[in-house]
Amino acid sequence: MSQFDQPRPGQDGATSTAAAVLLEARLCSKVFETEGKHQTGAQPMLVLDKIQFQIHEGEFVALLGPSGSGKSTLLRILAGLLTPTSGQVLFKGVPQQGPNPHVAIVFQSFALFPWLTVLQNVELGLEAQALTPTQRLKRALSAIDLIGLDGFEDAYPKELSGGMRQRVGFARALVVEPELLFMDEPFSALDVLTAANLRKELLGLWREQNMPTRAILMVTHNIDEAVGMADRILVMGANPGRIRVELPGLPLAQRTIQSEAHTNLVDLIYRIMTSPQEEIATLLPTHAQEAKTGPLTPTAPHPYQVLPHVSIGDVTGLIELVHSRGGREDLYWLGRHLQLELDDLLPLVEATDLLGLADTVEGDLVLTEEGKRFADAGVLEEKQIFETAINWGRYAELFTFQEDRGMFQLEEEGAPATQA
């Protein structure tokens, strides 16, 4: 019997507590050996720290976190493509050994072979299975029809839009009838309208049980996306990557972007992700639970402050926008108003904090007195502030500044530090 014909539990938007555990991560950590530019020998870098959670049958789980939190690395460990340094991954209670044949992955990049047609790209996923050519063709055509590409079987990738190419990626993953579907930021390369349409269609297939999969795990940095799609949301922290908190998803009726519950949950997640040093218990309502990972492994601090990669113009624009709205504004509103993804907004918020121009308070960006004075200053005065900072740093021999290239260089190491 095909998995298309098998009912799934938990289709009301809430995961059944009796649902079987398909996949489990038990205290998984990952260390990479790196060689620093000014260090001798390999240096261990802890990327993931004691990751522990389960994925149940009938469940749509979102893994949410900022850049550098190890989301994609964790996804590859769960799929068996990488081995954890410590801990283990179990599939249906059995420790995984190598790639899991019951898992399919949809990646952010379309990863299609340009010399193959849509049909051939989809059929490629079946090459490793013991199927006759007739069986492969039938399965591929069914997947193409399911994902809405009927009539494009003979088209080449160059003839397709971005949304249609990603549909081919979904069809190629679903054609193998995986028990677990992993998605690594599958909508981030698409324009807003195309992504919204594809999300809606995918959720329709999932809720109507038309997909040959028992559970879905989606990696994303889009908070709206996670809240609108997932039954359960795992929020990760960075340096090292760890699960900070586990949040229950909303009932299906409340997942629309217009609902108050949707707005409140998005606002809570913004508050968590923009307060990486805060204790989770101080940020959460009583219904959420802190991730049970045990004590975190202590890590060596950075030898220097890592500067966010942002432009001065963007920081100035953000400060002036918040100032125009009374000196305090909700981060969720700012992200939507500026059409910025979380990974673009967070570095700006961090930069305003490092410069002493703003603080984050309960999910809001609040200007300091210095920030208000900076916003009131004219363009020439703003430039003078930055020129003063540059001159002081050069006088103290903290760095050199190459004005023609707009580059700072550390005085001792002569290595580029950041770009103006």
Contact at 8 Å (CB) between 227 and 265?
yes
Confidence at residue 411, expressed as pLDDT on a 0 to 100 scale? 60
Overall average pLDDT of the 172-184 stretch: 89
Starting from the edge strand earliest in sequence, which strands make up the sheet with 399-402, in order? Answer: 399-402, 407-410, 416-419
DSSP β-ladder status, 407-410 and 416-419? antiparallel
Sign of CA dihedral 71, 75, 77, 78: positive
**Could you give the strand order of the β-sheet that contains 358-361, starting from the edge strand earlier in sequence?**
328-330, 364-367, 358-361
CA–CA distance, 194 with 389 (Å, rounded to integer): 44
Going by C-alpha positions, the residue among 256, 245, 232, 218 that lies closest to residue 19 is 232
User: What pLDDT was estimated at residue 358?
Assistant: 85
The answer on pLDDT for 38 being more than 60 is no
Kindly list the domain boundaries of the chain, sorted by start residue: 3-290, 312-419
**What are the CA-CA distances from residue 308 to residues 346, 351, 355 (Å)?**
9, 6, 11
Instruction: For residue 181, list its beta bridge partners.
Output: 104, 216
Residue found by looking up tokens 């059929």 in the block: 123
Quickly state the pLDDT bin for 419 (edges 50, 70, 90).
very low
Query: Which is nearest to 201 in space by CA: 177, 229, 161?
Result: 229
> Tokens standing for 136?
């492969």
Confidence class of residue 277 from pLDDT cuts 50, 70 and 90?
confident
180 three-state secondary structure: strand
pLDDT tops 80 at residue 310? no
Which strands, in side-by-side order, build the sheet including 86-91?
43-56, 21-34, 86-91, 94-95
Residue with tokens 């063709």: 137
Is residue 70 over pLDDT 80?
yes
First and final C-alpha spacing in the chain: 61
Residue 343: Cβ within 10 Å count: 15
> What pLDDT score was predicted for residue 25?
93
CATH of 312-419, one of 3.40.50.300, 3.40.50.720, 1.10.10.10, 3.40.50.1100: 1.10.10.10
Mean pLDDT calculated for residue range 266-288: 75
Integer Cα distance of 39 and 37 in angstroms: 6
Residue 75 pLDDT > 70: yes
Residue 4 scores a pLDDT above 50: no
Distance, CA of 369 to CA of 90 (rounded, Å): 53
Question: Between these two residues, 18 and 179, which has the higher pLDDT value?
Answer: 179
Q: Identify each DSSP E strand in 92-179 by its residue range.
A: 94-95, 103-106
- Is 0.85 surpassed by the pTM of this model? no
CATH among 3.40.50.11740, 3.30.1300.10, 1.20.140.10, 3.40.50.300 for 3-290: 3.40.50.300
Q: What are phi and psi of 254, to 5 degrees?
A: -100, 5
Other beta carbons less than 10 A from residue 283's beta carbon: 17
pLDDT digit string (tens) for 331-379? 878 887 887 777 788 888 888 887 788 888 777 888 888 888 888 876 6
| Domains 3-290 and 312-419 are alike in CATH topology | no
Query: How many CB atoms sit inside 10 A of residue 300's CB?
Result: 9
Is the pLDDT at 229 greater than 70, yes or no?
yes
Is it the case that residue 8 has pLDDT exceeding 60?
Answer: no
Q: What is the pLDDT of residue 130?
A: 78
Does 409 score more than 80 pLDDT? no
Give the pLDDT of residue 232: 94
Residue 217 parent element (H or E) = strand 215-220
User: What pLDDT does residue 40 have?
Assistant: 56
Contacts of 383 (CB under 8 A, 6+ apart): none
185-222 pLDDT per residue, tens: 888 777 777 888 888 888 888 888 888 889 999 998 88
Asked if pLDDT for residue 278 goes beyond 60, the answer is yes
By C-alpha distance, which of 182, 47, 158 is closest to 105? 182
Query: Span 73-80, mean pLDDT?
Result: 92
Q: Which residue has the higher pLDDT, 89 or 289?
A: 89
Query: Which residues share a beta bridge with 361?
Result: 364
Mean residue pLDDT of the chain comes to 79
pLDDT of amino acid 296? 40
For the stretch 78-123, pLDDT in tens is 999 999 999 999 999 999 988 998 999 888 777 788 899 999 988 8
Amino acid letter for position 316: T
Q: Is the pLDDT of residue 267 over 90?
A: no
Lowest-confidence pick of 149-153, 171-175, 305-309:
305-309
Instruction: Say how far apart CA 82 and CA 102 lie, in whole Å.
Output: 16
